[in-house]
Structures are given as structure tokens and as C-alpha cells.
Structure 1
Amino acid sequence: MHSLGEEIKGFSKNKLRKQCTRVTTLSGKRIIETWKDSMVHTVDDPDQTDGAGCGYVQDLSVDLQVGVIKPWLLLGSQDVAQDLHVLKKYKVTHILNVAYGVENVFPNEFTYKKISILDLPETDIASFFPECFGFIEQAEMQEGVVLVHCNAGVSRAPALIIGFLMHKDKLSFARAFSLVKNSRPAICPNPGFIEQLHKYQDYLRKQTAVVHEKTD
């Protein structure tokens, strides 16, 4: 498992600039999430066909849509994590912050776990599963409510929750993805994360087959 510092060194600035995720919001507006100077930037999509063009305008709209995966498991953006009113409304007690460059805002109000993960297809997000799943399960055991968030709540956080549902509830990738998508329609994990989740599904199925062989 590589450290975050090693991951960052492994990518050129050009590669970081090229990485982007197109998102269609609940209102139908199209935006682009892109990396620049190791920070994520959300901008309006200037071209509704292929995204080419220039003259980006920063999108300053606030995304407070909360995906309720389970009564005690929530998915959202950094905006949700920074809005105390919304957090209190959903009775949040634990916050898993997997954003890059986003600090924990209310350290005296909630139990936090912060893991900076880059939203790049090459990022080994599966290597973070044990630590993240452990924190989510801790919140459940303490009868709390956990919010999982990244920057836009579109790629990293949903990928982790999809993996968690596959691990915890023994769901297939398709079923877990559908559940999360229905709860927060804007999700769109990058292609690398999708590929890793498919491999994780294969791994879980092999593990289950081994257990069945031992009990037969």
C-alpha cells in the first residue's frame, strides 16, 4: 500500500489537470469536477456535447443533498459536512472524511476519521476499505449515524459505501451501486474505482466459496 505522498509524487501535473469527472446534478445542470494544483475544482460544463471549450465559470452552488443509504449511514458532499444544521437534522454522530484538502470543521461535535484519498482511477481505493469499513461499523455498534463524504460526494465516498454494502450485506456490485445511486443520483465513481469494485466482488465470491467448501 502506497502512502498518499507516494501517490501524489507518482502523478505528473499534466495528468492531474486532465483528470475530471462530469456530473449531472439533480436539477439537470451539468458540471465538471477537475483537479488542479492538488485541489478539486467544480465548474459549469461549458459545452453540453463533448465538454470542449474554455471560459469556465466557477460553480458556487451548495450541494446539501444527503443520500440516506441506511438510517444510520449517510452519503454527501463537503457542503453537508460543513453545515451544522443539516448534520444535526440527520442526527449525525460520526463523520468519515475522505476528501483531499477539506478539514474537519466541528471536532468538538462529532467523532471524525480523516483519510485523504485522491480521486484518480489509479488510486488503490480498495486498500482503504478495512480502515474505512471499521470506522463505519464502529458508528453502527455505538448506535450512531455516520456521514461519509469526499469533496463532491460523487466518486470516492460512494465507491467506499458501495464496497461496504458488498462487504457487510453480501450484495453484488450491481445491487450495491443501484442502492447508492437511488439514494444520491449524482454519484459517478471514476472508472478505476468501478474496476476495483468489480475485482472486490470477485474476491468476496471466492472467499464465500472457500467458506462453503470448509463447511461441506
Structure 2
Amino acid sequence: MQSLSHELQNFSRARLKKQSTRITTATGKVLVETRSGDDGYVVEAAEESATCGFVQDLSLDLQVGVITPFLLLSSQDAASDTETLRKFKVTHVLNVACGVENAFPGHFIYKTVPMMDLPETELTSYLPQCFEFIDEAKKQDGVVLLHCNAGVSRSASIAIAYLMAKEKIPFEDAFNRVRSARPSIRPNAGFLVQLTEYHPRFITNTYCCSSSCTVDISNSALLFKCL
């Protein structure tokens, strides 16, 4: 048996088998990286992958937050689950997501209001048509399931604004009500600012949400400051 020192002395890169590294990007694009000589690598595109380059969370979010007896809040998962819809006696579905199809158009009354979950989206411009749909369902003794994609930003913001407008309560109270019903909510920074500045004309409370009311969004727990 040759000694280790002898093997090291006779080592040659040329005798090594060429090895390749397969890389899948976050978008699913596949790259193959192969050593080229002593100085570098050659990267080539391979066939597209059917999977993403990250671990996907495939668990369903079927939690439904009861905002009022006639208004529920959830993700798109719950809106696509017949057992959940039956359990909560849903009659109407308000879909504020983009690109999420209505699952059972023949069995429920739907309204789709596509909204982008971006800070610059003008949230208040979507409120009238959303409120009208919810109010009409209430008149019919129906139950509205309000959802977007994850049920944490767009739909949560609509629910907060609805409580502010219809129950004449300030932003902090409305936010806490919705978060108590669905703890995972997290409206984007732009929506939070718009909600703190939202003043339906019939809100008469002056102890909060005045023009000097601010919200600290640097942490997961919101800090309200009313000066």
C-alpha cells in the first residue's frame, strides 16, 4: 500500500474527475456550475425546475377570525375549504387578493376587489365598495368571509377600517379587535399609516387618533402614541 506522503507527492488535478454543482435559484431556475481549469468555473443554465429554490410552507392556514357575527377574516386557504365555510355558515365571500380565483362561485355570493399589498396602494379608495358588499350581506342576515392571500395585510386592513367606520371606534381599538380575532395580522407599513390617518366623518371620539396620533411600526408589536 502506498504511503499517504507518496500519494500527495504524486497528486495531479488532471487526474481528478470533473464534478458539477447543481444550483436551484429561488425562482426555480436551475444552474450547473463546473470547474474550468485551475482558475474558475463555468455556469450553464439547465432545464427549468418544477420546484422553488427554498423550502415551501405547504401547511394550510384554516384559522378564521370572527370580527363580528357577520364578518370573518381568513387566508385564501380557509376560503377554499368547504368544511371551514360550512362550519362558519359563510354566505358571502369578499376576495381582496390579486390572482386568487373564487373557489365556489356557484355556492356563495362573491365580490372580488383586487388590491396590491404594497405600501403605496391607496387603501381608502377600495373601502366604499368593500363596505357596501359587507353591509348588503348584513342586511340579508348573511356572513361574509373577508380574505386576501395570507389574510394578514390587505384583508386585515379592510376589517380594521370597517370597524372604525361602522362602530365609530379609533384605529387602536379597531386594530386590537382584529388582532384578537386573528393574531397573525400584519398590515404593511403604508396601510398602517393610512389607517392612522383615516377619519370617517361619523367618528366623534377625540381621545385617540387625532392628527397627532402616530404608530411605531419598527417592531412586530405596534406602539401607539397619541399626543
Query: Structure 2 length as normaliser, TM-score?
Result: 0.65
Residue deviations 1:41-91, cap 9 Å, x none? xxxxxxxxxxxxxx6311111000000011111000000110011001100
CA distance in 1, matches of 2:120, 2:69: 32
CA distance in 2, matches of 1:92, 1:106: 12
CA distance in 1, matches of 2:146, 2:178: 12
Partner amino acid, structure 1, of 2:61: D
Partner amino acid, structure 2, of 1:107: P
1:164 corresponds to 2:170: no
CA distance in 2, matches of 1:208, 1:72: 24
Point out which structure has higher relative CO (alpha carbons under 8 A, 6+ apart): 1
The structure richer in helix per residue is: 1
Q: CA deviation at 1:204?
A: 3.6
Partner amino acid, structure 1, of 2:160: I
CA distance in 1, matches of 2:93, 2:129: 13
CA distance in 2, matches of 1:141, 1:162: 20
CA distance in 1, matches of 2:64, 2:136: 21
CA distance in 1, matches of 2:150, 2:178: 15
Which runs of no fewer than 5 residues in structure 1 stay unpaired? 1-35, 37-54, 210-216
2:86 to 85, 88, 92: 88
Superposition pairs for residues 1-216 of structure 1, below 5 Å?
A: 56-201=54-199, 204=201, 208=204
> Secondary structure, in 3 states, of the residue corresponding to 2:197?
helix
Runs (4+) off by over 2 Å: none
> Secondary structure, in 3 states, of the residue corresponding to 1:121?
coil
Q: CA deviation at 1:208?
A: 4.6
Which runs of no fewer than 5 residues in structure 2 stay unpaired? 1-26, 28-52, 206-227
Q: CA deviation at 1:199?
A: 1.1
Residue deviations 1:125-179, cap 9 Å, x none? 1100000000010110100000000000000000000000000000100000000
Q: CA RMSD in A?
A: 1.6
Quote the sequence identity (%): 56
Bigger radius of gyration: 2
Partner amino acid, structure 2, of 1:179: R
Query: Structure 1 length as normaliser, TM-score?
Result: 0.68
